[in-house]
Amino acid sequence: MSEKTTFKKKFRSGERITGSFLVLPDEIVAETASLAGFDYVIVDMQHGLFGHDTMRRMVAAVELGNAAPIVRVAPGDDYAVGRALDAGATGLIIPLVNDADDVERAVSAATYGPAGTRSFGPMRAMTREGIEYFNSSKDRIVILPQIETLSALENLDEIVRVPGIDGVYVGPMDLSIALGLQPALDSDEPVFIEAVDRVVAACNDAGIVPTMHAGPQLAAKRYAQGFTAVTIAVDISVLKSGFDAALVQAHASPN
C-alpha cells in the first residue's frame, strides 16, 4: 500500500487528523512542517507568496516527512489542478466554488479520461508511482471544494453529493465576510455557528469528510462539532508568534 493510498483511506476513515498550512516560499519550512508530525500539509497557491516552481519543490519537501502534500489551487483554474497533481500533490483544495457545476468541473480536471478531462503527463508523480498512476490516481487523490461563499452555502446539499469529492474544506475568514461579519477563525454569532453546523450535517448525510481551517486553540472545539480533519497552524503565524514569544520572554528576564 502506497503512502498516498494510506492517506486517503485514513482521511476517509473518520479518524481525527491535523494539518498545517504554508504560504511562505521555502522548502525547508515545508519539510519542517511535515516532519513535525502533521497528517497533511497544505501548500497554498491561492494566497501563498510563490509560483508553480516553488510549489513543486515544496510538495517534494513535504513528502520527505510523513505528511501528505495537499495544494490549494488558484480559483477557477482547471489547468492549475492538473499541474498540482503532476507535481505530486496527494490532494486538492478548490477555493471559491459556488455550486455543483464548479465542483464537477474541478473533479473532471483532476480525473483522467474517459471520466474526466485531465491530460496525461504526471511528470513527477509518475517517477514515484510508475505508469500504474493512470489507474490508481483516482483512488489516491483527495478533493476538497472550499465552502466560503453564500452561494456555496445555498447550494451545499448539491455540492456535497458531487461524485469524486472526499469532503469539503471550510474557509472561516471568507465565510465570516460572506455572512456580514469581520474576518475571523471563529465567531459566537448565531449565523456563523449555524453555517458551520450545517456543513457538518450535510457532510455526514453525504458520507464525506468535514474539514476546517482553524488554529490550535480551536482544534478541540472543531472536533467536538464533528470535523474530523482540522488545519491548526499557518507557517507565517507560527513564525510571528514565535518571535513575539521570544521578545516577551527576553524582556521579562531579570537584569
Catalytic residue among 47, 52, 213, 251: 47
H or E segment and range at residue 98: none
CA distance 197 to 204: 11
Instruction: For the chain, state the CA radius of gyration.
Output: 18
Largest CA distance in the chain: 72
**Residues 52 and 41: beta-carbon distance below 8 Å:** no
52 is catalytic: no
**Residues 175 and 199: beta-carbon distance below 8 Å:** no
Query: How would DSSP label each residue in 129-162?
Result: H-TTHHHHGGGT-EEEEEE-SHHHHHTHHHHTT-
**Residues 242 and 29: beta-carbon distance below 8 Å:** no
CA distance 119 to 99: 24
Q: Helix (H, G, I), strand (E, B), or coil: what is residue 21?
A: strand
Q: Grid coordinates standing for 122? A: 504526471
Q: Which residues are known catalytic residues?
A: 47
